[in-house]
Amino acid sequence: MHEKIYMKRPVVEIDGDEMARVMWSLVKELLLEPYVDLKTEYYDLGLRHRDETDDRVTAEAANAIKRIGIGVKCATITPNAERVKEYGLKNEWPSPNATIRKVLGGTIFRKPILLRNVIPAVRSWKKPIVIARHAFGDIYDGEGLEFGQSGYVELSFKSGTSVNSVRKLVTGPGIAEVKVNSLSSIEEFARSCFNYALDERMDLWFAAKDTISKVYDAKFKQIFGEIYEKSYAQKFRAAGITYSYFLIDDALSRVVRSEGGFVWAAKNYDGDILSDLISSGFGSLALMTSELYSPDGFKEFEAAHGTVQRHYYAYLKGEPVHTNPIATIFAWTGALRARGRADDTPQLSMFSDTLEWAVKKTVEADGVMTKDVASMSAIPPSHVATLQEFLTRVQENLELALGRGEQK
Ligand code: NAP
Ligand code: MG
């Protein structure tokens, strides 16, 4: 009997729905529980249980992350009218991710998982490019106006009796839009980005268009610059990383010539677009993790993809499924690595590295891939694996790396 790797404190484990839930339990059973003395505080956010608890379980899970510091989450169904019918729900409950983010605040970092045989669309990209999107304000919180003739569009701020306004003559008919943001939200965003870059030892970019947007974007630039100088410049120098501000068009031309390896922070709308562009540039949704960092240092890790419904119905019919568990595995390794660092238990962080190595070896060296990866692979797969087969091979490689291969 080999001893299991010690875990000092638990992580919050948030279970979910459909195929993602199936992968969740397989990953635990095959790749975690045999090797790690896994301590978790478990919350079942499967749709039925959310419904039974009138969605209280979601807020409880979020608050548990505040208490324990680190969480790992399985994809969950965000109900729509169809799902209300399918599950006979009492209510069209809100997106769990939105609820959790409301409790924790913070920023989502989308990080691609690079495999040697999945060549990025941009040849020079050798390292991950992480997109940090400020999920607050901008046009997502905007108002629009259409008008039928020439006139003045006025933007005014009122509080009590004081009024502050600007106006602009428009030769109509025309349209106008207003967007808003809050300085405290921008400050939190900046701090989350600086903390993430430090944790990951990656350079940080922030890009906007302050030369044109002289109030709105300029304020973002100013806040990032001030917080950096005051609280992070020294830590960045010590870590050997840099913070740079770029005009967003300059950043775009730089990114296609870069080799990657940095965090790119963007305003809400820019981040919406960039995250889709960068993720498809690196491969697929199944090779992408999503990490929520709160300004207070709480962290939640998950796969970026959803519950993979189509595969789940095939699975229920007993058909072989080729769902890719890599992002689920990396959500767990992210959480366990963070736990290991926070608790000063390096064996736990090292286990995460080893498990990630086993995944990469399975695909890159053994040529064993799920269908989605096989279809993008630059080398022909030696075997197109089902979910089970893939996990079994990862387990074999993990045992090998842990020096337990001979046990089999
Ligand atoms: P999805 O579950 O990400 O799946 C979309 C398609 O992407 C799948 O049908 C599959 O394509 C491919 N795919 C995604 N993950 C894969 C994986 N691990 N392995 C192989 N292929 C994968 O998105 P969706 O269909 O839009 O949403 C389904 C449910 O997930 C919805 O109820 C939604 O509310 C929820 N959702 C949850 C989260 C979250 O909790 N973070 C995020 C997004 C969506 P093929 O069918 O072509 O194989
Ligand atoms: Mg988008």
> Poorest-confidence range of 198-202, 253-257, 295-299, 368-372?
295-299
CA atoms of 225 and 223, how far apart (whole Å): 5
Q: Rounded to an integer, what distance in angstroms lies between the CA atom of residue 356 and that of residue 213?
A: 43
What does residue 13 show for φ and ψ, rounded to 5 degrees? -105, 120
Go through 204-238 and write b for each residue having 16 or more CB atoms within 10 A of its CB, e for each that does not. bbbbbbbeeeeebbebbbebbeebbeeebeeebee
Centroid of ligand 2 to alpha carbon of 395 (angstroms): 34
| CA 325/CA 24 separation, integer angstroms | 8
Q: What average pLDDT score do residues 77-91 get?
A: 95
Q: What is the pLDDT of residues 19-56, one digit of tens each?
A: 999 999 999 999 999 999 999 999 999 999 999 999 99
Q: Classify 126 in phi/psi space as left (phi over 0), alpha (psi -120 to 50) or beta.
A: alpha
Widest distance between CA atoms in the chain:
82
Geometric angle at alpha carbon 244, from 236 and 196, rounded to 5°:
50
| Ligand 1 center–CA 305 separation, angstroms | 5
Give the angle subtended at the CA of 146 by the CAs of 145 and 151, to the nearest 5°. 95
Question: How many angstroms separate the CA atoms of 112 and 327, rounded?
Answer: 9
Cα–Cα distance for residue pair 213/179, rounded to 1 Å: 12
Ligand 1 centre distance from Cα of residue 232 (Å): 37
C-alpha 277 – ligand 2 centre gap (Å): 8
Question: DSSP string spanning 333-383?
Answer: HHHHHHHHHHHT-HHHHHHHHHHHHHHHIIIIIT-EE-HHHHTT-SS--SE
User: Which of 160-164, 303-307, 320-324 is the least confident region?
Assistant: 160-164
Integer Rg of the chain from CA: 23
User: Which amino acid type is present at position 292?
Assistant: L
d(CA 286, ligand 1 centre) in Å: 8
Q: Which atom of ligand 1 is nearest to the CA of 327?
A: 18
- Between 232 and 408, residue with greater pLDDT: 232
> Whose CA is closest to atom 8 on ligand 1?
308
* 299-303/262-266 β-pairing: unpaired
User: Ligand 1, residues 18, 86, 276, 308: which to mutate, most atoms within 8 A of Cβ?
Assistant: 308
Q: Is-contact 51 91, C-beta < 8 A?
A: yes
Report CA(105)–ligand 2 centroid distance (Å). Answer: 20
Averaged pLDDT for residues 288-303: 92
Spatial contact of 270 and 207, defined as CB atoms under 8 Å apart: yes
Residues 175 and 184: their CA atoms lie apart, in Å, by 30
pLDDT number for residue 406? 55
- The mean per-residue pLDDT over the stretch 169-194 comes to 94
Ligand 1 in contact with 391 (CB < 6 A)? no
Q: Which two tokens stand for residue 405?
A: 């291969």
Question: Which ligand has its closest atom nearest to the C-alpha of 283?
Answer: 1
Q: Is the CB of 294 under 6 A from ligand 1?
A: no
Pocket of ligand 1 contains residue 310 by CB under 6 Å: yes
Q: Hunting for tokens 């691609």 — which residue is that? A: 112
What residues pair up with 70 in beta bridges, in sequence order? 299
Q: How confident is the model over 377-399, as a mean pLDDT? A: 97
Q: Are 357 and 326 in contact (CB under 8 A)?
A: no
In angstroms, rounded to a whole number, what is the distance separating the alpha carbons of residues 330 and 356?
7
395 lines ligand 1 (CB under 6 A): no
Query: Is there an atom of ligand 1 within 6 Å of 372 CB?
Result: yes
Give me the mean pLDDT over the 280-285 stretch: 86
Taking residues 142-167, what's their average pLDDT?
A: 92
Q: How far is the CA of 270 from the centre of ligand 2 (A)?
A: 9
Using a 6 Å cutoff on CB, does residue 305 contact ligand 1? yes
Ligand 1 site, residue 27, Cβ cutoff 6 A: no
Alpha carbon of 367 to ligand 2 centroid (Å): 32
> Which ligand 1 atom minimizes the distance to the CA of 311?
46
Residue 407 pLDDT: 46
What is the mean pLDDT of the segment spanning 110-130?
Answer: 94
Strand partners, 145: 176
Which atom, in ligand 1's list, is nearest to the CA of 95? 34
Closest Cα partner for 371 from 328, 316, 323?
Answer: 323
For residue 87, report the phi and psi dihedrals to the nearest 5 degrees. Answer: -100, 0
- Does ligand 1 have an atom closer than 6 angstroms to the CB of 306? yes
**Count of beta carbons in the 10 Å neighbourhood of residue 22:** 21
| Distance between Cα 337 and ligand 2 center (Å) | 28
Return the DSSP state at 93: P
Predicted local confidence at residue 326, as pLDDT = 98
Confidence band (pLDDT; 50, 70, 90) for 408? very low
3-class state of residue 47 by DSSP: helix
The mean predicted confidence, pLDDT, of the chain is 94
86: tokens are 């399918």
Domains of the chain from N-terminus onward? 1-118+283-408 (3.40.718.10), 125-136+181-281 (3.40.50), 138-179 (no CATH)
**268 in contact with ligand 1, CB cutoff 6 A:** no
| 139: confidence class by pLDDT, cuts 50, 70, 90 | confident
Q: Give the pair of three-digit tokens for residue 9.
A: 């404190």
Phi first, then psi, for residue 91 (nearest 5°) are -160, 155
Distance CA 197, CA 202 (A): 5
